[in-house]
Amino acid sequence: MKLQKIVSRLQELHPKEIDLSLDRIQNLCQRLGNPQDKLKAISIVGTNGKYSTIQAMFAILKEANIKCNIYTSPHIKSINERFVFNNEELNDEELASLFEEIESANNNEPITFFEILTAAYFLKASQYPDNINLIETGLFHRFDATNILKNNLASIVTSIGLDHLDWLPENEQTVEKIIYEKTSTLLNSNIIVAKQSSKEITDSIKKTISSNSSNKFFHNEDYSFTIKENDFFYYEDQLGGIKLPMPNVKGQFQLENISTAIATLRTIKDFDIKDEHIKQGITKINSIARLQEIKSGKLKELAKDHQLFVDGSHNPLGAKVLNEYLESLNCNKHIILGMMANKDHNEYMSYFKDVKTLTTIDIPNQPNSIKGKELKDKLNSFKNINYQESIEDAIRSIPVKENDIILITGSLISCWGSIEFKLDIFI
């Protein structure tokens, strides 16, 4: 209860959820003694794959007995997920105490909630100067609160695509502009660029970072992977090749994220990452709501013997790679869809070519979401589309047959505990 009250107060410090600027975060961190200057950090920017890449690095670093602090957004089940120090999430009491310290230093000045969270992370992380910080950038990078570091160990650029266009001027809603916002201010250290959806996007990234003096590593040029038979894949970079077991996460796009994580950790020589750390780590990745199979709980009980998946993709690029995985499965696929109102709903669903049924739902307590009935009307080109008020009703209504799968998607979600379909407002 104490934590919830503090969070509510902090959310009221600025009239906007997002207000892209660095002034407020810089001023607050200066009052805190500029804790961000004391961190050993790896920065992760991009549209998709940031969280998965971080979790792959975290799993490998743990195998190498290297302690980590991690800052990600949004959270799925609780805000504590955003604050990992010494490999552990802060508990409610610890997080409330941290927020109180930040609240006092801010002295009721206008500041966005994300900026408060970022300052809180920097302050706590500075108490662990030897730990490696894995820091995910928020909406964009150039004016994102995380972009006040003066140096870092590396910057990772995950796959970039069209998303959050409503935060750009109408005449600048292009992938080139997004690339500029995400990569033009990367620090001079090491830059690792993940596989992109097209050569044009890779070339645009290269152009944008051409004057950056960092060591640069590109997928398929400086590192790569191939899928082999007998349930393993082969990773290769300038240091040589490694035969690796298949990870405990699904989808080829996860192999792309894992390969980028490996490339980054092998690039930073001080880590001394051994092949065995990688082999063990990639089989222990904890990835919530990223093509995650739900194997227990109330929702699984409703799905009975059918596979139930949750995936937080909410943009066309995410839909594309998710559909590639679905197409590899020889079964009927049933999608349950809830989305935010500012997304391109028809474009998102256009990537799913082989869907048996589509069920739209309402997202409770989310004023920025689109109503399920309205979403159904917008997607009327789908032949077998239905509306249900909740996830529970949707699962019960689906005419599943043997070996069918059910996928809940459309945005980052939570399907645990009291069976709520929650989206964080900072997606």
Strands 333-337, 84-85: parallel, antiparallel or unpaired by DSSP?
unpaired
DSSP letter (8 states) at residue 384: S
Whether the model pTM is above 0.95: no
Question: pLDDT tens, 42-53?
Answer: 999 998 899 999
Question: pLDDT tens, 235-255?
Answer: 999 999 999 999 999 888 899
CA distances from 17 to 93, 171, 274, 401 (A): 25, 23, 43, 43
pLDDT at 86: 97
Asked whether residue 296 carries a pLDDT value surpassing 90, the answer given is: no
Asked whether residue 83 carries a pLDDT value surpassing 90, the answer given is: yes
At the second CATH level, the architecture of 292-409 is Alpha-Beta Complex (3.90)
Question: pLDDT tens, 175-231?
Answer: 898 999 999 999 999 999 999 989 999 999 999 999 999 999 999 999 999 998 778
More confident residue, 291 or 415: 291
Asked whether residue 421 carries a pLDDT value surpassing 50, the answer given is: no
pLDDT at 22: 95
Backbone angles phi, psi at 259, to 5 degrees: -65, -40
The mean predicted confidence, pLDDT, of the chain is 90
Q: Which residues of 161-174 are buried (b: 16+ CB within 10 A; e: fewer)?
A: bbbbbeeeeeeeee
Question: pLDDT tens, 308-340?
Answer: 999 888 788 888 888 888 888 899 999 999 998
Q: Which residues of 8-26 are buried (b: 16+ CB within 10 A; e: fewer)?
A: eebeebbeeebeeebebbe
Q: Which residues have C-beta within 8 Å of that of residue 240, sequence separation ≥ 6?
A: none
pLDDT at 415: 34
Report the DSSP beta bridge partners of residue 216: 191
Please state the domain extents for the chain. Answer: 2-281, 292-409
- Select 2-281's CATH number: 3.40.1190.10, 3.30.70.360, 3.40.50.150, 3.40.50.10680: 3.40.1190.10
Asked whether residue 416 carries a pLDDT value surpassing 70, the answer given is: no
Q: Taking residues 256-275, report their average pLDDT.
A: 95
pLDDT at 417: 31
Could you tell me the two tokens for 279? 């082999």
Asked whether residue 419 carries a pLDDT value surpassing 90, the answer given is: no
- Rounded to 5°, the CA angle 225-229-234 comes to 20
